[in-house]
């Protein structure tokens, strides 16, 4: 499969994942993943979900950022796309493991000495992915401009 088709498939997947993860996290009751739990007198006491929905936030942000960078890569040379793909293939699984290992530590955020929760790591690594991708794409495009 040539790189335009690969990029098109990745573009489609990274465009669909944020939509699905948004719908699942914002409307879990309507989709059927969660149900509202009522008390004895009929008041709402909370909701009961089939599984924890927190893992979708990193998936949303990382795939959304990947989608943004796949659009210009579709129109650039194959070597630019391949160098970015090589970076993304190593970066994304490592980051996913780090985010999953961080867990939810109660929302400490970026407070030094208290560690980081998965939400703050997601924002940090998504931004880092965007910056590195941007630099890599520009560098490779300039390097291959005359070729």
In the chain, % helix, strand, coil (3-state, to 5) comes to: 65, 5, 25
Taking only the tens place, the pLDDT of each residue in 52-68 is 666 677 778 888 888 88
Taking only the tens place, the pLDDT of each residue in 102-144 is 766 555 555 544 566 777 788 888 889 999 999 999 999 898 8
- Determine contact, residues 58/18, Cβ cutoff 8 Å: no
Query: In this predicted structure, what is the pLDDT of residue 86?
Result: 92
Domain boundaries, the chain: 3-143
Taking only the tens place, the pLDDT of each residue in 1-56 is 587 888 888 888 888 888 888 888 777 777 777 777 777 777 777 767 766 666 67
Neighbours of 9 (CB within 10 A): 12
Query: In this predicted structure, what is the pLDDT of residue 96?
Result: 84
Neighbours of 93 (CB within 10 A): 10
- For the purposes of burial, counting CB atoms within 10 Å of the CB of 15, is it exposed (0-12), middle (13-18) or buried (19 or more)? middle
Taking only the tens place, the pLDDT of each residue in 87-105 is 989 998 898 888 878 766 5
Paired tokens of 70: 């796949």
């Amino acid at each position: 499969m040539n790189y335009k088709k690969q990029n098109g498939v990745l573009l489609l997947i990274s465009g669909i994942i944020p939509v699905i993860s948004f719908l699942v996290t914002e409307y879990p009751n309507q989709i059927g993943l969660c149900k509202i739990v009522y008390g004895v007198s009929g008041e709402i006491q909370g909701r009961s979900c089939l599984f924890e929905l927190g893992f979708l936030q990193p998936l949303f942000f990382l795939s959304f950022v990947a989608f943004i960078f796949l659009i210009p890569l579709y129109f650039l040379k194959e070597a630019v796309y391949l160098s970015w793909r090589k970076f993304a293939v190593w970066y994304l699984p490592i980051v996913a493991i780090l985010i999953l290992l961080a867990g939810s530590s109660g929302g400490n955020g970026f407070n030094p000495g208290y560690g980081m929760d998965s939400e703050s790591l997601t924002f940090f690594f998504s931004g880092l992915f965007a910056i590195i991708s941007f630099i890599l794409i520009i560098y490779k495009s300039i390097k291959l401009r005359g070729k």
